[in-house]
Amino acid sequence: MIHRFLRTAGVRTPGVFLAALLVLAGCESDGGRSKARLAPSEFALLTTDAAIEPDPSTIPPPGEVTGPISASEGILDVKAIPGPPPVARVEAAPVEGASLVEATVGSINGKPIYASAFLDDLGASLSAQARELAARPRGRELWRQAAAAEIRGKLDRTIEDELLRAEAMGNLAPEQRQGFFAFMQSLQREELSKSGGSMEAARRRVAETESLSLDQYLRQREQQALIRSELQRKVRRGVNVTWRDIKLEYDRTWANWNPDPLAVFRMVQIPNSAAEDLQEFQTRLSAGEPFATLAALPLNRNDSAKGGVRSVRFTGPQAEANFFANADLNTAARTLAPGQTAGPIALGPISAWLHLDRIEQTSIGLYEAQRKISDDLFEAQVREEVMRYIGRLRERANMTSVEEMVARLLVVAEERYYPSAR
């Protein structure tokens, strides 16, 4: 232990340890205080190191001395010649072909926006649009318009997310920041636990399920958490939906909660020339077979695959409603009660039977609708307040012009995704 400590401290063990033994021996002799005084020269006897002859290989050779005449070369014999400097006759040749270096198209509060990283997840869509439009007249122009709109949409979302994230991070108190970092560490542990504690397995799983690297996924979760926190603190807490707001919205959208009744008919149509089908239908109908079953038979020429269903929404009393353009059908529809059948009704060369399956009357009262109305109003107000808040953040943000970034990104996208683009 002592030797290890001394070695760690950089002390030469033999000499120091021997000196310690001699001092201890002197202190313990005769059991009393020694009256002898030690001279500094006596400590020279305590070292056990032998004199070491220098290694000739380690002695540097004597330096070469430059005389005054040699030293003046390049100083006293310089000639000044007027005119431009000579130009090299051999032009420099590139070592390899030209390659596109990662381009920065702008920044948001000092955070750079890289073209490749930004366009990566838009590549499939932009390439597909390019293939579709390339052969059309003005295809390149149409592609540029569509690509610019798509790029701008993503850029706006990126700006909003970054401004909210930075604002949220800047507003965190030191203890909140520590708590947030602990939360992010817990997310990482959670992802590892889902993969049996293996970092490599976690990376593979996230890549397969999210199409992101593990670091990208965790940064995305971090950004989402920060944005939620900021919106909760600055926006959602200030939104309030009153009962009066709910009542006014219910009255305004009354028709949505109380739609017109829906009459669901089934109609069978059989050509008069198909005597066997007519006979079979009438026989089975008289025997009490359900109309819905008969309407689904091939003998029905009126959309038998869907059971001959005709649904009509109407206003006012049923007896005054307009269901069909044909007067005879409309008259029958006005008088039928659910479950009743009218027919045969002559429709030129066709015989028809009309059956009223049901009348659907859906009505939702204010008290039943209030929860959904409240939620819808709350979210609408939140969206409005969020846009106002983001507008204020944009006004004081230090970032490259959106139009300029879109133009730069469009140039890179056209080079990369449009056929034969340069």
Q: Is the pLDDT of residue 133 over 70?
A: yes
Q: Is the pLDDT of residue 248 over 90?
A: yes
152-167 tens-digit pLDDT: 999 999 888 888 888 8
Residue 40 has, within 13 A of its CA and on its CB side, a CA count of: 0
Q: Give residue 24's pLDDT.
A: 37
CA distance 124 to 132: 12
Q: Give residue 63's pLDDT.
A: 45
Would strands 341-347 and 309-313 be described as parallel, antiparallel, or unpaired?
Answer: unpaired
Q: Is the pLDDT of residue 288 over 80?
A: yes
Helix (H) or strand (E) holding 345: strand 341-347
Q: Is the pLDDT of residue 245 over 90?
A: yes
Mean pLDDT throughout 396-418? 90
Q: Give residue 341's pLDDT.
A: 92
Residue predicted with more confidence, 197 or 80:
197
Any residues with CB less than 8 A from the CB of 7 and at least 6 apart, and which? 13
Q: Is the pLDDT of residue 74 over 90?
A: no
Q: Is the pLDDT of residue 308 over 80?
A: yes
Residue 96 has, within 13 A of its CA and on its CB side, a CA count of: 2
Mean pLDDT throughout 218-242? 79
Which structure tokens are listed for 247? 């009542």
197-222 tens-digit pLDDT: 788 888 888 787 877 777 778 877 87
Tell me the pLDDT band of 22, cut-offs 50, 70 and 90: very low
Q: Is the pLDDT of residue 253 over 50?
A: yes
254-283 tens-digit pLDDT: 988 998 899 999 999 999 988 888 998 999
358-406 tens-digit pLDDT: 998 888 999 999 999 999 999 898 888 888 888 888 888 888 999 999 9
Q: Give residue 409's pLDDT.
A: 92
Any residues with CB less than 8 A from the CB of 369 and at least 6 apart, and which? 250, 257
Q: Give residue 86's pLDDT.
A: 57
Q: Give residue 81's pLDDT.
A: 56
Q: Across 168-317, where does the E strand assignment appear?
A: 262-271, 309-313
Q: Is the pLDDT of residue 177 over 80?
A: no
Nearest of 418, 345, 409 to residue 155 by alpha carbon: 409
Q: Give residue 170's pLDDT.
A: 77
Q: Give residue 155's pLDDT.
A: 92
Tell me the pLDDT band of 79, cut-offs 50, 70 and 90: low
b/e code 17-38 from CB counts within 10 Å (16+ = b): eeeeeeeeeeeeeeeeeeeeee
Q: Give residue 47's pLDDT.
A: 45
Q: Rounded mean pLDDT of the chain? A: 77
Tell me the pLDDT band of 354, cut-offs 50, 70 and 90: very high
Q: Give residue 148's pLDDT.
A: 94
Q: Give residue 408's pLDDT.
A: 92
26-63 tens-digit pLDDT: 444 444 444 444 444 444 444 444 444 555 444 454 44
Residue predicted with more confidence, 154 or 178:
154
Nearest of 116, 119, 118, 140 to residue 129 by alpha carbon: 140
Q: Is the pLDDT of residue 135 over 60?
A: yes
Tell me the pLDDT band of 25, cut-offs 50, 70 and 90: very low
Residue 383 has, within 13 A of its CA and on its CB side, a CA count of: 6
